[in-house]
Copies of this chain bind each other. A is one copy, B any other.
Amino acid sequence: MKQKKRATIYDIAKKLNIAASSVSRALNNIGNINEETRKLILSTATELKYKRNTLASNLRKGQSKTIGIVVPRINQNFFSNVIAGIEEASYQKGYNLVICQSNESHVKEIQCVNTLINQHVDCIVISVSAEGGDYSHLQNVIDSGIQLIQFDRVASELKTLKVLNDTEQVSMEAVSHMIEQGYKRIALLEGPQNLDIFIQRKAGYLNALKKNNMPIINELVVENAWTKELGATATRALLNLPNPPDAIFASTSDFSALGVLEVASAMGIKVPSELGICGYSNEAFTEITSPSITTIDQFSIYMGKSIADLYFREMDQEESSRTPITISIKPELIIRASTSRKTQSGK
């Protein structure tokens, strides 16, 4: 489909028999322009249905007023919320969003980042894929003079702006809460340990055990129980141990926690009295399972806004005063029925 010829500032200039530069000045409302000619130009512009060619403008100005975003999956609750938050904050500043998804593939992530560099976006916001690997493509972003902001899943070795959750702290709180509820053998479903967030979630778990003088039992720690299905499989194995756990912290996700709940129900194990369950992310469904699932809210929309704000704040800084800031957002432990066996307040 071919674009029809669109009116340019030259068309307006020609029609009014003036210079294109005057048209530009009038449209941007800068420089000295006679008020009457300005109005004339403006009305001619609407008459010709003139639309500024942002491409040309950006090329000339050397900036694109565009923020590029790379996330593992656009349609995952957490990410789509972050994106919505970024959109809202940056729209007000006249910025646009170009969005890519890496599908958790390192290769696609690299391609996405390169496309965005080519697009001359002003800033790239990224949460790296689970696959992990070499992060030279991110170094590339920095070398290209593009602001890089990492969030949630970050390559910590890179000195960039970061927006994170205080994952370790809240994980510790979650496990401490379970201990307080009298659970003695708490299992952990852990995520891929090449991602910091999962390392931290585990650290929080270990810390909580240590602080409460509880032993670390290796057979209760299960790797990569990431999805509902994997969570279910892991749970089946755990509950069939000679000495099964009496609680499970599904640190990978709420989906995993859901898998735990379903298996427990199927096996006739009562939640929370015989098994405590805690998930991660505060997915909408955690509120409506029976029992409802204790989980952790990451304030995803707010996180998106923080990312955008951080960028705009940095942009105003002098080049010299720039330091790799890390913003930490404190997530909230949401205690629900699945871990409430002492205080029956949680319904």
Identify the interface centre among A81, A91, A301: most chain B CB within 10 Å of its CB. Answer: A91
Chain A 300-319, CB within 8 Å of chain B: the 1/0 string?
A: 01000000000000110101
Residues of A at under 8 Å CB distance from B?
Answer: 1-4, 6, 49, 51-56, 58-59, 62-64, 66, 73-75, 77, 80-81, 83-84, 87-88, 91, 96-101, 103, 108, 114-115, 117-120, 122, 140, 143-147, 258, 283-285, 288-290, 301, 314-315, 317, 319, 322
What B residues does A66 contact at CB under 8 A?
A: 98
Contact B96 A1 (CB under 8 A): no
Nearest CB of B to A331, in Å:
18
A290 contact from B3, B114, B290, Cβ within 8 A: B290
Give the Cβ gap from A336 to chain B, nearest Cβ, in Å.
Answer: 14
> Which residue in B49, B59, B96, B315 is a CB contact (below 8 Å) of A56?
B59
Count identical subunits in the complex. 2
User: Assuming A51-B114, A54-B115, what are 6 further A-B pairs, CB within 8 angstroms?
Assistant: A3-B120, A6-B145, A74-B80, A84-B101, A91-B100, A97-B99
A80 touches B75 (CB 8 A): yes
When chains A and B are docked, how far (Å) is the Cα of A322 from the Cα of B2? 12
| Distance A120 CA – B6 CA, assembled complex (angstroms) | 10
**How far is the CB of A61 from the nearest CB of chain B, in Å?**
10
Q: Which residues of B contact A6 (CB under 8 A)?
A: 144-145
Contact A288 B145 (CB under 8 A): no
Given the interface contacts A74-B80, A75-B84, A96-B98, does A3 sit within 8 Å of B63 by beta carbon? yes
